[in-house]
Amino acid sequence: MPGESKNGMQCAEFDLLLCEVLDEMLSGDRLEKFQAHGRVCPVCGPLLAEAKEGRQWLKSLQEVEPPANLVHNILVATTGLDTVRLRQPASAQPQISWAERMREWAGTLVAPVWAVARQPRFAMSFGMAFFSLSLALSMAGIKVSDLRHVDLRPSAVKRTYYEASGRVVKYYENIRFVYEIESRVREFKRATTPAEPGPAPEEQKERKNNNNTSGQPEQKQERNYSQGGDQPVLASAPNDPPVVTVTTYRRFV
Amino acid sequence: MLVRRCLAGDAVAWEEIVQKYNRRIYNICYRFAGSGEDAQDLTQEVFIKMYRTLKTYDVGRGAFMTWVTTITRNLLVDHFRKSKQDRVTDSMDTAPSEHEDAMPLSEQIPDKAAPPDAHVQSRETGETVHRALQKLSPELREAVILRDLQDMDYREIAAVLKVPEGTVKSRINRGRAELARLLQRTYRQVM
Ligand SMILES: [Zn+2]
């Protein structure tokens, strides 16, 4: 029992020396007294054996590996900094930046369209579409080089949008005004020239007078332009089924 | 010195401290709390606390390692108290015992393990010992973790636990012995 003296050593002293004995730091007379107490004391004897065994079990435990992202997480949680040097140990779980994710996302959107655009039969349509778009922009007074220093604040974007659309509308109105005058002039001419019966003879006359510069061919051309203006350039190739083709190609991407 | 550089606003110094001590703190937390998930959260908490209280570290009062270990230990004790309270409120049918180390472990420890004298370095054995360690009272558990797993000397452990060296030694003895008894019971049941 604790406090009991056996072989000149009390249980409390035995308890104190136990660690040193297991550390092999005790020797000589004290070690002998210690061992003698352990042999006869019903409490300290088993304690020595069990402590020795328990120590062995504990020593058999190996150090565990912390998670790869632990250091990274600690730094983010403390300084809020994610230093470049620390990305290396965390590379087991690759950290994709916001910009990279956006690029990937944009890529998935553009890829099907680009795949179609690369097809020879569509390349021309896309080229034409781009050409007309850039033409429209330059007509409206917007240079592609200007886009580099575009102000992206919401208010500025709004202002730019209204300015640009205003310019496009003005350009369109101007063209309409010109056509309007032209058609009025043509109507006036028709009214002043002697009346001819029916449209069919007019067509025949038209075919006969191919060299005629009286404005008839211009009228035809005007119609074509207006047709072209009403319909998107892509649809100008009547054999291409644009929507269906795009979805089909998307499946392969 | 790292701490002084850190206090001067050197982010690299802080990073070095994290690199130097994360493994040690994680291992203490893992062996005390039992699960890797808890260990990760607790290690993070330890560093957050360290970062906030770094200026209170006094070189004259002891080694930085002792200071770090003290913070870790105090957080673990808090965590244990909290989780014990949760357990008490969660399950009213299981009477919480005063001394966790008095609880029979034989039912909780899986029966798969090597015989006691073989002490084979297998993952299963390690797992069994780890689970048995969780059954020790926190007082005994922390003492054996700091001594046998972290190789701290008795004086350092006494400083961390704020108890006399004699008490430290006594707890280590009891912790080791209790662990051996728990594992003996497990293996006796298997055989
Ligand atoms: Zn005794």
Taking a contact as any Cβ pair under 8 Å apart, which residues of chain A between 139 and 168 contact chain B?
Answer: none
Distance A4 CA to ligand 1 centre (A): 7
pLDDT digits (tens, 9 = 90+) for B121-164: 578 899 999 999 999 999 999 999 999 999 999 999 999 999 99
Q: Name the DSSP class of B148.
A: I
Q: Name the DSSP class of A65.
A: P
Range of the domain at B144: 108-190
Which range is least confidently modeled, A23-27, B55-59, B122-126? Answer: B122-126
* Same domain (yes/no): B183, B120: yes
Q: Is A86 on the interface with B (CB under 8 A)?
A: yes
Mean pLDDT across B28-51: 97
Distance B48 CA to ligand 1 centre (A): 46
The reported pLDDT for the residue numbered B132 is 97
Q: In whole angstroms, how far apart are CA A222 and each of A183, A196, B89?
A: 10, 22, 86
Q: What band does A174 get if pLDDT is binned at 50, 70 and 90? A: low
Highest mean pLDDT among A115-124, A129-138, B17-26: B17-26
CATH number at residue B37: 1.10.1740.10
8 Å CB contact of A47 and B11: no
- pLDDT, greater one: A145 or A37: A37
Q: Please enumerate, as own/partner, the contacts of B112-121 that have beta carbons within 8 Å and a separation of 24 or more.
A: B113/B183, B113/B186, B113/B187, B113/B190, B115/B187, B115/B191, B116/A53, B116/B183, B116/B184, B116/B187, B119/A56, B119/A57, B119/A60, B121/A60, B121/A62
The reported pLDDT for the residue numbered A113 is 53
Distance CA A72, CA A82 (A): 7
B172 vs A contacts (CB less than 8 Å):
19, 51
Which range is least confidently modeled, A26-40, A109-123, B105-119? Answer: B105-119
Distance CA B145, CA B28 (A): 7
B169 occurs within a structural domain: yes
A81 vs B contacts (CB less than 8 Å):
11
The reported pLDDT for the residue numbered B179 is 98
B47 occurs within a structural domain: yes
Q: Using the predicted structure, report yes or no on whether residue B31 has a pLDDT greater than 80.
A: yes
Highest mean pLDDT among A75-89, A175-189, B9-23, B116-130: B9-23
What value does the mean pLDDT of chain A take?
A: 66
Q: Is A53 on the interface with B (CB under 8 A)?
A: yes
* Same domain (yes/no): B130, B75: no
Among A48, A73, A74, pick the best mutation site for testing chain B contact (most B Cβ within 10 A).
Answer: A74
Q: Using the predicted structure, report yes or no on whether residue A147 has a pLDDT greater than 60.
A: no
Q: Using the predicted structure, report yes or no on whether residue A53 has a pLDDT greater than 80.
A: yes
Distance A30 CA to ligand 1 centre (A): 15
Nearest Cα residue in chain B from A13: B166
B67 occurs within a structural domain: yes
Q: Is B128 on the interface with A (CB under 8 A)?
A: no
- pLDDT, greater one: B103 or B159: B159
Distance CA A17, CA B166 (A): 9
Which range is least confidently modeled, A165-174, B4-13, B71-80? Answer: A165-174
Q: Is B176 on the interface with A (CB under 8 A)?
A: yes
A58 vs B contacts (CB less than 8 Å):
129, 133, 144, 148-149, 176, 179
8 Å CB contact of B51 and A15: no
8 Å CB contact of B178 and A67: no
Mean pLDDT across A144-172: 56
Q: Is B22 on the interface with A (CB under 8 A)?
A: yes
Q: Using the predicted structure, report yes or no on whether residue A163 has a pLDDT greater than 90.
A: no
8 Å CB contact of B177 and A71: no
Distance CA A59, CA B151 (A): 10
- pLDDT, greater one: B175 or A8: B175
Which range is least confidently modeled, A58-67, B44-53, B99-108? Answer: B99-108
Distance CA A190, CA B185 (A): 117
Angle at B158 between CA B155 and CA B161, to 5 degrees: 155
pLDDT digits (tens, 9 = 90+) for A93-108: 444 555 665 666 665 5
Q: Tally the domains of chain B.
A: 2
Q: Would you kindly state where each structural domain of chain A is located, as residue ranges?
A: 1-89, 103-139, 151-194
The reported pLDDT for the residue numbered A110 is 57
B97 occurs within a structural domain: no
* Same domain (yes/no): B50, B112: no
B100 occurs within a structural domain: no
Mean pLDDT across A217-222: 43
Which of B27, B40, B173 is opposite residue A47, by nearest beta carbon?
Answer: B173
Nearest chain B CA: its distance from A42 CA (Å): 14
Mean pLDDT across A134-162: 56
| Number of Cβ pairs < 8 A linking chain A and chain B | 119
8 Å CB contact of B31 and A53: no
* Same domain (yes/no): B9, B60: yes
8 Å CB contact of B44 and A73: yes
Which of B18, B116, B126 is opposite residue A75, by nearest beta carbon?
Answer: B18
In DSSP terms, A5 is beta-bridged to: A10
Q: What band does B107 get if pLDDT is binned at 50, 70 and 90? A: very low
Highest mean pLDDT among A84-88, B22-26, B89-93: B22-26
Q: Using the predicted structure, report yes or no on whether residue A156 has a pLDDT greater than 70.
A: no
The reported pLDDT for the residue numbered B25 is 98
Q: For the purposes of burial, counting CB atoms within 10 Å of the CB of B134, is it exposed (0-12), middle (13-18) or buried (19 or more)?
A: middle
The reported pLDDT for the residue numbered A123 is 56
* Same domain (yes/no): B115, B186: yes
Mean pLDDT across B60-72: 94
Q: Using the predicted structure, report yes or no on whether residue A245 has a pLDDT greater than 60.
A: no
